Amino acid sequence: MQTVAIVDFSFGNLRSVHNALCSLAGPDVDIQIATEPSAIEQADRVVFPGQGAARHCMLALRQKGLADAVLNAARDRPFLGICMGMQVLMEYSEENDGVDCLGMFSGRVEAFAPHVERGSRFKIPHMGWSRIEQVTHPLWENIPDQSRFYFVHSYYTAPRDKEAIAGRTDYVLPFASVIARDQVFAMQSHPEKSGEHGLTLLRNFLHWDGRC
């Protein structure tokens, strides 16, 4: 039996992530929603979704005492960050007048600037299906390069270490839509809402040994 912990630290779409993982997991996999540090510490894999504003999310992580458990998990187990669960892995977010984040990756989270191209305005939030240009990684297995995933966000991740980029998306500007290092893989888009390709990525995560 292996356990997968979905970290509950915000008012996010945990139900969707839980549903998607349950639809893929075999009978030997226990998928739990983790609200306590102990549940994260005991899990074999950790999924770190999140939605809402950065300040609220960081506050919830610290108040619930989850921050250390999350950082520990990311050091030695397969770890998947989704949406705000990617952004708070950075050092700092511009959202809510500036928020210090977990600092697992160097770099910042920045707001999309207003942008007009060939007479049409880029709408913010970036909402809908955009392509991801893949950088070789085991979690992309069986997903064609440039496949579309579902995005909803107004801030984007700018990692300082370009080696950490595992996927790029172009909206307003080319940005790092996926970052990865060792057993951590984190994406801005929502695999649990990205149809077939998203499910493939989640399935790959459930089988991943954490090596690149």
Partner 1 sequence: MGLAKRIIPCLDVDDGRVVKGVKFVDIRDAGDPVEIARRYDQEGADEITFLDITASHHDRDTTVHMVEAVAEQVFIPLTVGGGIRTVENIRTLLCAGADKVGINTAAVTNPEFVQEASDTVGNQCIVVAIDAKRISAPDAPPRWDIFTHGGRKDTGIDALEWAKKMETYGAGEILLTSMDRDGTREGFDLELTRAMSDAVGIPIIASGGVGTLQHLVDGVTEGGADAVLAASIFHFQEYTIGEAKQYMHQNGIEVRL
Q: Which residues bind partner 1 (CB under 8 A)?
A: 11, 13, 15-16, 19-20, 22-23, 51-53, 114, 117, 120-131, 148, 150, 152-154, 169-171, 192-195, 198-199
Choice between 3 and 130, CB closer to partner 1: 130
Q: Is 207 a catalytic residue?
A: no
What minimum distance in Å lies between the beta carbon of 41 and partner 1? 26
What 8-state DSSP symbol labels residue 114? Answer: P
Choice between 117 and 209, CB closer to partner 1: 117
What minimum distance in Å lies between the beta carbon of 129 and partner 1? 4
Choice between 38 and 154, CB closer to partner 1: 154
Distance separating alpha carbons of residues 196 and 186, to the nearest angstrom: 19
Catalytic residue (choose from 18, 56, 153, 190): 190
138 upstream amide cis, omega within 30 of 0: no
Residues 6+ apart with CB under 8 A from 7: 34, 40, 46, 47, 48, 49, 66, 70, 85
Q: Is 83 a catalytic residue?
A: yes
Catalytic residue (choose from 57, 83, 95, 153): 83
Please state, in angstroms and as integers, the Cα–Cα distance from residue 3 to each residue in 25, 47, 155, 199, following that order: 10, 11, 32, 18
Q: Is 133 a catalytic residue?
A: no
Kindly report the number of other CB atoms within 10 A of residue 126's CB atom.
21
